[in-house]
Amino acid sequence: MSLGRLIVVRHGETAYNAGDVWTGITDVDLTAAGHEAARQMGRLLGDVRLDRVYVSCLKRTTQTRDDLLDAHGGASPICKKTAALNERDYGEYTGLHKHQVRQRVGAERFLEIRRGFDTVIPDGESLRDVSERVVPWYLANVVPLVLAGQNVLIIGHGNSDRALRKYVEDVSDQAVANFEMDFEKIYLYEVGEDGRMLGAPEIRVILS
């Protein structure tokens, strides 16, 4: 049996994203642009059979899924939610504009908070914390499906997707600081039994 593919996307834009506000686990809706981007992702994946779709428990991923699948037009996949894919909890910085946090903590600390793997936020999570819930869930639930020939779409968040891709692409704790999970990119992987990628991913890009 041929391998399936792991497909990773980020939810569409929200008003918090557009306003440069740290959203975290705040449950906000997509903007009109976010809905349209999700539909474009569905059209870009029109040639890919989708067997299963996982989203977080936050509605911006569910809204992205619904728009994407509507535009995709293929057979209805099995859809499930999991808290393992929820966005990083930004603790006391949730809801603040990023410039407010930068002014409060300084530029160097701000960069560590945004990009560092082990940087802890008061009452929140580090990227390592996110990784420690995402990766075990992925290995237990997604890898067996892909190895069995299914195409599995994951619609996550900036940080849950970064944590997943860090593992899949075998990126170091230091190098993950340079990782960005863009709204307009779709990552398609073939993976081995350890869940790591086999060769470079195929990347499809929404054209603005």
The pLDDT tens digits of the residues spanning 158-205 come to 999 999 999 999 999 999 998 888 888 999 999 999 999 999 999 999
**What's this model's pTM, rounded to 2 decimal places?**
0.96
CATH architecture of residue range(s) 6-19+30-89+126-205: 3-Layer(aba) Sandwich (3.40)
**Residue of 11, 35, 72, 157 with catalytic role:** 11
**Residue of 13, 72, 87, 125 with catalytic role:** 87
Q: What is the mean pLDDT of residues 87-97?
A: 96
Going by pLDDT thresholds of 50, 70 and 90, the confidence category of residue 128 is very high
Of 102, 182, 195, which Cα lies nearest the Cα of 140? 195
* pLDDT given for residue 161 in this prediction: 97
Q: What is the mean pLDDT of residues 52-58?
A: 98
The pair of structure tokens assigned to 43 is 């059209």
- The gap between the terminal CA atoms of the chain, to the nearest Å, is 37
Residue 97 falls in the annotated catalytic set:
no
Mean pLDDT of the chain: 95
Residue 35 falls in the annotated catalytic set:
no
Longest dimension (CA), the chain: 55
